[in-house]
Amino acid sequence: MERNTKEKYYLLEADDAIAKLDSSKNGLSEVEAQKRLNDFGKNELREKESDPTWKIFLESFKDPMVIILIGAAILQIVTGSVMESLIIFVVLILNAVLGTVQTKKAESSINSLKQMSVPSAKVIRDGQKYTVSSTEVVPGDIVLLEAGDYVPADGRLIEAESLKIVEGMLTGESEPAQKSTGRLIEESSVGDRVNMVYSTSMVVNGRATYVCTRTGMDTEIGKIADLLENTDAKQTPLQSNIEVFSKKLGVAIVLICILIFGIQVFRAYTHPTGVEMKTVILNSFMFAVAIAVAAIPEALSSIVTIVLSIGTKTMSKKNSIIRKLPAVETLGSTSIICTDKTGTLTMNKMTAVEYYKYSKDAESIEVVEEPKKDSVDLENFNSEDMLNIAAALCNDSVIKEDGKEIGDPTEVALTVLADKKGYISDRVRDIYPRLQELPFDSDRKLMSTYHKINSKGIMITKGAPDIIISRSSKVLVGSQVIEMTEDIKNEVRDQNEKYSNKALRVLAFGYRQMDEGKKIGIEDEDNFIFIGLVAMIDPPRNEVIEAVAKAKSAGIKPIMITGDHKTTAVAIGKNIGLFNEGDISYTGLELDNLTDEELDKQLEKISVYARVSPENKIRIVGAWQKKNKVTAMTGDGVNDAPALKNADIGIAMGSGTEVAKEAASMVLVDDNFASIIAAVEVGRTVYSNIKKSITYLFSGNLGAIISILFAVFAGWTNPYTALQLIFINMVNDSIPAIALGMEKPEEGVMSMDPREKNEGLLGGGTLQAILSRGVFVGIAAIVAQYVGMKHSPNMGVAMAFTTLLLARTLQTFACRSDFRSAFAIGFFSNKYVVGAVLICLSLLGLVLLPPVRGIFAIPAEYSMTNLAVSFLIALISVLFMEIAKAISYSKVKKLRAENRLDI
C-alpha cells in the first residue's frame, strides 16, 4: 500500500474507505501489519532532535560581551600576561558549563513528563482481537474503542454506538463531540467531521470500530507539529536587553581605550621623558587593556546564568518547569496573560452545583462536600430520593475504586452528586439493575433506562429540560404525584432560564411506570412524571479568584481565550473577577470580522474570547505585541502550539500534548493559573536581583575607571595591575553578585505595574545608582592612593587596590535595595550576602599573606594600619551611598504623595 495523505475519507462510505486502504473488517494479517509498520514507520510524532551538548556549550560564546572578553584574553597572551588570560578563559568556560547543565536539566524534566504514559490500542488482525502498543498501529488496521480509551491514530468510523469523544487537544473544543458513521457530502473542517476520529482524542462515552487512515506525522496532529518546526522562537526581553547593552558597552569601552591610548602616546610625543617610543606605545597599550579589563564585568554572564538558575529552582517548587532559562525573567515583565479556561481557571471537572424540585426553591450543592457515610433508605423515597436515584441509574459513567472517572463529564457529575447525597451509585445500580436502555442521541436529546423498582417497571429519562417539561403530564411533589399544569410548567421553565442565565448546564429528569416485560421504544418517551432539574458547571478553582485579583493589582491584564461558548466563558469570567463592567467579549467568528484597526481600538476592553481558532490566538498575541506588551499564552493542545511559540512566553500545561510542551518556554505542572502568578512574582524578583547584581558590578567597575582616569590626568602611577583588576572582577565581585541574586522579593513587588518592554537594563533608576555609587567608590580609591603615595608609589597602588576591593565588597549591603537602607532591611535578612562579604574579606586576608602579596604588587611594608585606613575610607564611601539613597527615596515619596510618580 502506498502512502496517501490527500484522500478525504470522510466523504467516502465506510466500506469504500476500507477498500481504499486495502483492508477488510477482519483486519490486516500480522505479516501485512509488520510490512506496513516498516513502510510507514512507527505511529508517533517526529521529535525535533535536541542540540548536542557540544553545540549548546559553544552557543554560550556568541554573546557580544563574551566575545569582547575573549579578545581581551588574547591580548593578554600577546603581551605576556598568561595568568590573567587563563583566569578569563576559566570563568567563561564555567559560565558555558552552567548554561549547558541547566538546558539539559530542563530537557530531562520534560522527558519525564513524556514517559508518564505509553497507551496501548486494541486492534483486529486476522479476525482476532489483539492489544498492541499504540506506536505499532498502521494504516488499514481495524481499531476498537470504548469509554476511557485514547484514539491511537486518525481513522474513519465503521461502527459507533453512543460515541462521544473529547477532541480538545486538537480542536480546542472542551465539549465532547457526538460521532456517527454516515458519509459527509461536503468538505468540512476537522471539528465538523463527525465520522472521523483523531489521534490523542479521548473516548468519554460509547464504543466504536474504525479503520485507521493515517499514523504518525501524517495525522492531523502531526501536520501541526510539522508546521511548528518552521516557526522561530522570539528573543526574550532580557536576551534583547543584554545583547543591545553588550554592543553599546563594547563600543564605549573600545572608544575609551583608544582615547586613553592616544592621550598617553600624544603626551609622550609632545613631552619626551627619555623613554623609547616603542616602550611608551607598549605600556600605553597595556594600560588600555587594563582599562578594558576594569570596565568589563567578566563575571556578568555567569552571574546572570546563576541567578536565572536560582529562579528556575524556585519556580520548580511552585509547579513550574522552565525549559528556556531566560523565560524566568520574561515572566517578570509580563503585562498580558492569555489563559485558557478549562483546567487552568476552572477545575476541569463538570460538577453539579444546584438542583430543583417543584414546590421547593433551588438548592445549592456544596462543591467539595464529602459523600455521606450511611446510604439512604431506598424502599420509601420522595422527590429528592427519586432525583438522586435517577441521576445514578440513567447514567453510563463509572468511578473506579482508584478514583478514575470513565464516561461523559456530565454523567460523571451526576454520579458524584448521587454519591455525595448518600445514594451510593454502585449500590443503587446493584439493587435496581438496568434491564433495557434507549441510548442518548443528538436528535432526541434524551436517554432512557428501564429498571424494576419496588416491584414496578419504571423507565427513567433524562435530557433537555424543554423536552422533558413539555412531555410531562404529572409532577412528583414530595411523595405525592399531582397534575402538571401550565402554571407549574412555566414555573419550572423560569427556573431553567435562571440556571441558563448563569451559564449552568441543565438536565431534566422524568419517569413513568411501564408494563413489566414490555420492550421500551422512543415512542414511550412521553407522558412523564417530572422529577426535577440538575444544574452543572465546571467551577472555578478555589485559588483562582485571589490569583486574578493579584494579577490585576500587579498591573497584569488576564484574558480568557477558550473554545467554549461565550455565555459560559463570560459567566466564569465574572465569577472570578476577570470580566468586569465595561469589558467586552468576542467569539472567533466576530473577531474574524474585525479589521486590524478595529481590533486595535477595542483590544484593551476585551477580556474574553470564545470559540476561537489557532489563527485567532496568534492574531490576539500579535495585537498585544504591536502595543509593545510582553504577552504570555497558555495552552495544552496541538492547536495551541503555534500561538505558544509566537508569544513572548508560552506556558504549556503539564497534562497537555508533547507538541505544546515543545513549543513552550515553561510547563505548568499543576495546570493552575495561580501558579502562573506565583511564577510572575519569582520572575519580577529575579529581574530585580539581576539589576542589583548589575548595579553592584558596574558601580565597582566605574569606580575603578574613575580612579584610573584620574591617575592618568594627574600623572600618577597606574593605580592597579591587570591581575588585581581581574581578581576583583572575576573572583571577588562574583560572590557578592551571586548573593544579591538570592535576595527575597522586595515589599510591594506585586503591587507595581510591569516594566516597559523596551526598558533597558540601565532603566528604572539603575543608571543613576551606578553613577552615584561608582563616583563614591572612585573617590575612595583616589583618596587611598593619595594617602599611600605619601609613603611610596607602590604603597599608593596597594592602598588603592585594597580600598577598591573593600569599597566594592561593603557596597553589597547598599545594593540590596534601591531605596531602603541596609539598616531597615536588616543586615542578616539575607544570610548569603553576609557569607559573601565574609568570604571576600577572607580572600583579601589571603592576598595580604606574605607568600601571596608579592604576586598582587603589595609591598612588604604594607601593615595593618594601612589596611585599617583603607577599611575606614571604604566604609565612609558606603555611608555616603546610603545617604544618597535616603535623599533619593525622600524625593520619590514626595512625588508619590503629589501623584506625580507611579511606581
Each residue's pLDDT tens digit, 230-242: 555 556 666 677 7
Same domain for 525 and 566: no
Return the sign of the alpha-carbon dihedral for residues 140, 144, 147, 150. Answer: negative
Residue 671 neighbours by CB under 8 Å, 6+ apart: 343, 344, 348, 636, 653, 654, 655
3-class DSSP string for 829-862: CCHHHHHHHHHHHHHHHHHCCHHHHCCCCCCCCC
CA–CA distance, 351 with 340 (Å, rounded to integer): 19
Same domain for 371 and 340: no
Kindly state whether residue 752 falls inside one of the protein's structural domains: no
Same domain for 555 and 529: no
pLDDT at 368: 38
Contact between 596 and 614 (Cβ < 8 Å): no
Grid cell listed for 129: 482481537
Q: What residues are paired with 453 via a beta bridge? A: 456
CA–CA distance, 446 with 459 (Å, rounded to integer): 12
- Which of 503, 537, 571 represents a domain boundary (last residue)? 537
Same domain for 310 and 205: no
Residue 116: CATH number of its domain = 2.70.150.10
pLDDT at 102: 59
- Which of 537, 552, 576 represents a domain boundary (last residue)? 537
Residue 680 neighbours by CB under 8 Å, 6+ apart: 331, 332, 334, 551, 554, 556, 750
Query: Minimal CA–CA distance to 158: which of 139, 136, 143?
Result: 143
How many domains would you assign to the chain? 4
Q: What residues are paired with 585 via a beta bridge? A: 608
Give the ranges where 394-450 is alpha helix by DSSP (H). 409-420, 425-431
Residue 868: CATH number of its domain = 1.20.1110.10
Kindly state whether residue 755 falls inside one of the protein's structural domains: no
Question: Of how many residues is the chain composed?
Answer: 903
Contact between 138 and 197 (Cβ < 8 Å): no
Q: What is the full DSSP assignment across 728-788?
A: IIIIITHHHHHHHTTPPPPTTTTSSPPPPTT--TTTTTHHHHHHHHHHHHHHHHHHHHHHH
Grid cell listed for 778: 572612585
CA–CA distance, 624 with 604 (Å, rounded to integer): 9
Per-residue DSSP letter, 730? I
Give the ranges where 21-144 is alpha helix by DSSP (H). 30-40, 53-59, 64-78, 82-114
Compute the radius of gyration of the chain from its Cα atoms.
36
Same domain for 866 and 791: yes
Give the ranges where 219-276 is alpha helix by DSSP (H). 220-228, 237-270
pLDDT at 109: 45
Kindly state whether residue 421 falls inside one of the protein's structural domains: yes
CA–CA distance, 528 with 358 (Å, rounded to integer): 14
Q: What residues are paired with 451 via a beta bridge? A: 458
CA–CA distance, 534 with 384 (Å, rounded to integer): 11
CA–CA distance, 753 with 126 (Å, rounded to integer): 66
Q: What residues are paired with 399 via a beta bridge? A: 405
CA angle (795 as vertex; 789, 285 as ends), nearest 5: 85
Same domain for 715 and 618: no
Return the sign of the alpha-carbon dihedral for residues 631, 632, 637, 638. Answer: positive
Kindly state whether residue 254 falls inside one of the protein's structural domains: no
Per-residue DSSP letter, 346? B
Buried b (16+ CB within 10 A) or exposed e, 412-427: bbbbbbbbbbbbbbee
Kindly state whether residue 256 falls inside one of the protein's structural domains: no
Kindly state whether residue 842 falls inside one of the protein's structural domains: yes
pLDDT at 373: 38
- Which of 672, 707, 728 represents a domain boundary (last residue)? 672
Same domain for 204 and 176: yes
Q: How many C-beta atoms lie closer than 10 Å to residue 521's C-beta?
A: 10
3-class secondary structure, 235:
coil
CA–CA distance, 441 with 436 (Å, rounded to integer): 16
Same domain for 148 and 26: yes
Residue 386: CATH number of its domain = 3.40.1110.10
Same domain for 528 and 641: no
Query: Minimal CA–CA distance to 657: which of 678, 675, 671, 674?
Result: 671
Q: How many C-beta atoms lie closer than 10 Å to residue 857's C-beta?
A: 14
Same domain for 501 and 359: yes
Return the sign of the alpha-carbon dihedral for residues 356, 360, 361, 364. Answer: negative
Structural domain of 185: 1-218
CA–CA distance, 868 with 204 (Å, rounded to integer): 78
Same domain for 769 and 702: yes
Low-confidence ranges of the chain (pLDDT < 50): 109-110, 112-118, 366-376, 378, 900-903
- 203 to each of 155, 178, 293, 351, how far by Cα in Å? 14, 10, 65, 19
Same domain for 591 and 533: no
3-class secondary structure, 328:
helix
Active site residues: 340
Kindly state whether residue 56 falls inside one of the protein's structural domains: yes
pLDDT at 292: 72
Element (H, E) at 420: helix 409-420
Q: In this predicted model, what pLDDT tens digit does every residue of 696-720 receive, in sequence order?
A: 998 998 999 899 889 888 888 889 8
CA–CA distance, 287 with 294 (Å, rounded to integer): 10
Query: Minimal CA–CA distance to 463: which of 434, 438, 430?
Result: 438
- 456 to each of 336, 399, 450, 524, how far by Cα in Å? 60, 28, 10, 16
pLDDT at 375: 46
CA–CA distance, 439 with 624 (Å, rounded to integer): 47
Residue 646: CATH number of its domain = 3.40.50.1000
Kindly state whether residue 247 falls inside one of the protein's structural domains: no
